[in-house]
Structure 1
Amino acid sequence: MPLTDEQKRLIQKSYAEIDRQSSNFAAIFYDCLFAMAPLIRPMFKSERPVFEYHFNELISTAATKVFQFEEIKPRLVVLGRKHRGYGVTPAQFDVVRSALMLSIQDCLRDACNPAIEQAWSSYYDEIAKVMIAAMEEAPAP
Structure 2
Amino acid sequence: MTPQEVELVQASFGKVLPQAEAAAGLFYERLFEIAPHVRPYFRGNLRAQGAKLMTTLCAVVESLHDLDELMPSVRAMARRHVAYGVTPADYQPVGAALVHALSVHLGEEFTPDVRGAWLSAYADLSSEMIMAAYPPRGAEGP
Amino acid at match of 2:83: G
**What is the total number of aligned residue pairs between the two structures?**
136
Structure 2 stretches lacking a partner, 5+ long: 136-142
**Change over 3 Å in CA distance of 1:118–1:82 after alignment to 2:** same
User: How big is the shift at 1:114?
Assistant: 0.5
Structure 1 stretches lacking a partner, 5+ long: none
TM-score (norm 1): 0.90
Q: Cα RMSD over matched residues? A: 1.6
Residue in 1 that maps onto 2:133? 135
Q: Give % identity.
A: 27
User: How big is the shift at 1:128?
Assistant: 0.4
- Greater Cα shift, 6-15 or 31-40: 31-40
Residue in 2 that maps onto 1:62? 60
Amino acid at match of 1:120: W
Once the two structures are superposed, what CA deviation does each residue of 1:60-111 show, in whole Å capped at 9, x if it has no partner?
1111111112222111111111111111110111111111110110010011
1:76 pairs with 74, 77, 90, which one?
A: 74
SS at match of 1:91: helix
Residue in 2 that maps onto 1:6? 4
Once the two structures are superposed, what CA deviation does each residue of 1:35-70 show, in whole Å capped at 9, x if it has no partner?
111111012122212321221111111111111122
1:44 pairs with 34, 42, 45, which one?
A: 42
Separation in structure 2 between the aligned mates of residue 23 and residue 93 of structure 1, nearest angstrom: 22
Residue in 2 that maps onto 1:107? 105
Residue in 2 that maps onto 1:119? 117
Amino acid at match of 2:114: I
Separation in structure 2 between the aligned mates of residue 24 and residue 126 of structure 1, nearest angstrom: 26
- Contact kept in structure 1, 2:9 and 2:117, CA below 8 Å: yes
- Greater Cα shift, 87-96 or 44-53: 44-53
